[in-house]
Structure 1
Amino acid sequence: MVCATLALALVGCGASVPSPTPTSNRTTSPAVTSSPETTAPADAAAVFPVGEPREIATGLSAPWSIVFVGDSALVSERDSARILELPAGGGVREVGVVEAVQARGEGGLLGLAVDQDRRLYAYSTGGQGNRIQRFALTGTGGSFTLGAAETILDGLPSAGNHNGGRIAFGPDGMLYAGVGDAGSPQNAQDPGSLGGKILRMTPDGGIPSDNPDPASLVYSSGHRNVQGLGWAQDGTMYASEFGQDTWDELNVIVAGGNYGWPDAEGTAGAAGLIDPVLQWRPDEASPSGIAVVAGSVVIANLRGERLTVVPISDPSTAAASYAGEYGRIRDAVLAPDGTLWFVTNNTDGRGDAREGDDRILSVGLAG
């Protein structure tokens, strides 16, 4: 796949990455390759988790996504379809249950997002496929309640696996959604399918007039199963993606870009396709949610059981934190107090649950 054409400093595709020297709380990620590199803004130094994480909440059941509304955090549970609130003062309370969720395999209640009007958006598996719904939040932090569901998009491809599910608002105010190929790889290259795509829509679910195709929600194609979305300070968009047997990916997403699946997995050097910034072996990664913090992309990894920190200015120095210490990690997000929160995922049927799982932890960041 060819390198993306970006207004950024890039290096050639497929370059080998030297292993960085481990430091306290950091270990290297083996079998990582890089292409292309991006340049972080001058005021955005790379940051890494430091110290021992502290527990924010324990005893959760297959938590999937976490977002902040003011100082309160809202968490989705995949199988129970519950939305929980973690108030700033501590504790866990139920905000509401998303109705008619069909939790099967990797489907269920997945990603959450909040708009500037403090409305909650949820991506879930329903009877007609995956869908995105919007809910009013009433009350204040510590006492939020969930309003009635308003479905803004329905009928997205769904299956027992590859449901995608991550949603996030970009700096342009538009809602982005990672939709998996739903176990049918041909969806990713089919312009008539929304499967295997990243979608871009208005907060009401409409098609923005400046989408690559003004008649389509599709923003980029050729994806297998995007699980993380985030933006750097300069507006560069990143996405993490599960590969199949060979390479997981971190990609820079550009409008109209084709990322190759199923014709390519990882770096391929094929005309018309975009290569990943970094790629990992699936047993070392399985990347899920991401947080773009200052000059770093922090990636939650499931099979890899670690946080991977990718400095934007030099992805070749990517390093891992807490490898194997907390089991599968599903999501990572920057909290209002500047700490990094991350979500374990050991009770989802694929992990080895430990006493107190699943849990949400918080750790400080330093350059």
Structure 2
Amino acid sequence: MRRVVGFAAVLALAGCSAEGGGGGSAPSTTTSGGLKVEVVVAGLSHPWDVGFLPDGRMLVPQRPGRISLVADGRATDVEADLGDVAARGEGGLMSLVVHPDFATSRRFTTCFNTASDVRLVTWELDGTKATRVKDPLLSGLPTAASGRHSGCRMALDRDGDLLVGTGDTARGTAAQDRSTLGGKVLRVDLATGEGVAGNPFGDRIYTYGHRNVQGIAVRQDGMVFTAEHGPDVDDEVNVLKPGGNYGWDPSRGGTVGGYDESVPMTDLERFPDAVPAVWSSGDPTEAICDAAFLVGEQWGDLDGVLAVTALKGTKVLLFTVTQEGGVHSVAIPPELDGTHGRLRGAELGPDGALYVTTSNGTDDEVLRVSRG
């Protein structure tokens, strides 16, 4: 990938991992500007994701249990049976993926909390009405009564299979327990919800040992990056390796009860073979969220950069990543640094622009970000 140029370094963090896969932080920089940020639509409530239809319209799921169809700067509610969405705490209606064959199938898939689990449901859109056609596509993902760490982020890999990042529901043993789907990244067939042939454990699990996966980005070469919430320290950007253990274990091997968040995000002492993060926020955390690669000549020297949103940090971080999957540097564009509040969703649109959602709770927006 091309290295980002023209950035002035403002802060160097210890433990830089520049070239290939070791854990640690990377130099932090600020851009010289040059991004254009436009409001596409406002008046939303915790929009989690953006799914693009072939004609350029957008489906935007909102955490309280509503899907909006956005066109020409206006949001129209999609008529859909979302009565079983349990919006509580961090949970509710979350990620959405438009199927690659939408032009003929009219299908998209959502992920949401119910009273008993987190589940994936596939819908068929007819005008502004959506009907369930796979109900569920996949169920039984764990949830928490409080909604804590019951997130669900979906993305399609290069083969068209569905990657699903899940939270550990604040249960100490969940991330290391391969009999549960919490604290994992799953890889499933988009049509059936079953595990994909070649998955490392012969089931739906692709990686495990995660705390709370919030973002998944697939690079053009197929390499998969995730963004993950840490506790008080160490949000992580990870590169997925099939069968990899990412080292989160607040149960300390089942020896302590409750949810001991003082353990390392990637516990290399307990799990020497755990996959180290390619970037860690250190202290304080940013509450990083969704992730998307900027692709296209229109981005200039930002072509190939990984854009990651931050909730607590109220910013976008731009990661220059190496071909091997390391993080070379991190840039913070001033146009998206504390300017729009909490930022959650990130998706590259068919026009090559980056679409970002805010998550402030009231009058939330979808933003269009392009090179000025």
TM-score by length of 2: 0.81
Q: Report the counterpart of residue 265 of structure 2 in structure 1.
A: 265
Report the residue type matching 1:264 in the other structure: P
Structure 1 pair 328/154, CA: closer, same or farther in 2 (3 Å)?
A: same
Q: Report the counterpart of residue 364 of structure 1 in structure 2.
A: 370
Structure 1 pair 117/157, CA: closer, same or farther in 2 (3 Å)?
A: same
| Unaligned residue ranges in structure 2 (runs of 5+) | 2-6, 22-30, 250-262, 296-303
Aligned pairs for 1:1-367 (under 5 A) are: 21=8, 31=13, 33-35=15-17, 37-38=19-20, 50-70=34-54, 71-79=56-64, 81-87=65-71, 89-97=72-80, 98-118=82-102, 119-139=107-127, 144-150=128-134, 151-159=136-144, 160-203=147-190, 204-214=192-202, 216-262=203-249, 264-266=264-266, 268=268, 271-281=272-282, 283-294=284-295, 295-313=304-322, 315-321=327-333, 322-347=336-361, 357-365=363-371
Structure 1 pair 310/264, CA: closer, same or farther in 2 (3 Å)?
A: same
Report the residue type matching 1:275 in the other structure: P
Cα deviation, residue 60, structure 1 = 0.7
- SS of the counterpart of 2:173? helix
Answer whether contact 2:233 2:284 (CA < 8 A) is retained.
Answer: no
- SS of the counterpart of 1:58? strand
Cα deviation, residue 315, structure 1 = 2.3
- SS of the counterpart of 1:54? strand
Structure 1 pair 161/82, CA: closer, same or farther in 2 (3 Å)?
A: same
Answer whether contact 1:130 1:155 (CA < 8 A) is retained.
Answer: yes
- Equivalents in 2 of 1:301, 1:191: separation in Å? 29
- Equivalents in 2 of 1:165, 1:328: separation in Å? 18
Answer whether contact 1:32 1:280 (CA < 8 A) is retained.
Answer: no
Answer whether contact 2:158 2:220 (CA < 8 A) is retained.
Answer: no
TM-score by length of 1: 0.82
Kindly provide the CA deviation profile for residues 135-155 of structure 1, in whole angstroms up to 9, marking residues without a partner as x.
01224xxxx431225211111
**% same residue:** 32
Report the residue type matching 2:311 in the other structure: L
- SS of the counterpart of 2:119? strand
Answer whether contact 1:84 1:96 (CA < 8 A) is retained.
Answer: no
Answer whether contact 1:130 1:163 (CA < 8 A) is retained.
Answer: yes
Q: Report the counterpart of residue 4 of structure 2 in structure 1.
A: none
Cα deviation, residue 163, structure 1 = 1.0
- SS of the counterpart of 2:174? helix
Kindly provide the CA deviation profile for residues 21-58 of structure 1, in whole angstroms up to 9, marking residues without a partner as x.
25xxxxx677575436359xxxxxxx998334111011
- Equivalents in 1 of 2:246, 2:186: separation in Å? 14
Cα deviation, residue 260, structure 1 = 0.4
Structure 1 pair 198/171, CA: closer, same or farther in 2 (3 Å)?
A: same
Report the residue type matching 2:177 in the other structure: D
Aligned length: 321
C-alpha RMSD of matched pairs (Å): 2.3
- SS of the counterpart of 1:318? strand
- Equivalents in 1 of 2:289, 2:11: separation in Å? 16
- SS of the counterpart of 1:317? strand
